[in-house]
Copies of this chain bind each other. A is one copy, B any other.
Amino acid sequence: VIEQGNYILYHPAMALRLRTTEASETFSALWAAVSRLNEILAEEMYAETGMSLERYGILLRLAQAENGAMRPSELADCLPLTRSGTTRLVDRLVADGLVERRSHETDGRGFLVALTTEGEESFRKAGRVHLRGIDEHVGEPLTEDEMKELRRILRKISRGTDDLEAD
């Protein structure tokens, strides 16, 4: 979790054999750009809504859910969070009035987590802030062709990290 600068370098005093390569410079640039972008978007989000970008991401997931509700375990699967972490997260969201636990109709073992009206409103407001920030910091500096080209290149990387190695 380095914020800026090179990730790999040649350091004479340590007689490192490690050198910067085309790939490592590319990775550094990728890392630095995304870290910085995220930092800016998080600052804007906090300044205008009092909400963290992480929390916005959670509300987004709930908003995306099929019937506006998810099982806690589903939420855990789509967030970088364990199940126990999710339990406590939901506790906090409930305490803040953004989310409610609904009993599950057919399976008594668990619940459904759903946005409250207040949660939906917070999400909508935050979404506008986030979208505006992205348009400003990604859309404005780039042309449409550059965005397309960027996505094309990123897809090649993503294919390379996909675990489609089965078979």
**Chain A residues with a Cβ under 8 A of chain B:** 1-9, 11, 13-14, 16-18, 21-27, 29-37, 40, 53-54, 57, 60-61, 63-64, 67-68, 78-80, 120, 124, 127-128, 130-131, 134-142, 144, 146-147, 149-151, 153-162
Number of copies: 2
User: B residues within 8 A CB of A160?
Assistant: 136-138, 140-141
User: B residues within 8 A CB of A64?
Assistant: 5-6, 9, 11
User: B residues within 8 A CB of A134?
Assistant: 7-8, 21, 23-24, 27
CB A51 to nearest CB in B, in angstroms, measures 13
Q: A40 to B160: give the CA distance in the assembly, Å.
A: 10
Q: Select which of B2, B36, B61, B139 is within 8 A of A61 by beta carbon.
A: B2
Q: A30 to B111: give the CA distance in the assembly, Å.
A: 33
User: B residues within 8 A CB of A22?
Assistant: 139, 144, 147
User: B residues within 8 A CB of A120?
Assistant: 14
Q: A161 to B141: give the CA distance in the assembly, Å.
A: 9
User: B residues within 8 A CB of A35?
Assistant: 80
Of A13, A31, A33, A128, chain B has the most CB atoms within 10 Å of the CB of A33
**A149 with B147: CB separation less than 8 A:** no
Say whether, besides A24-B134, A80-B1, A139-B23, A154 and B63 are in contact (CB < 8 Å).
Answer: no
**A147 with B3: CB separation less than 8 A:** no
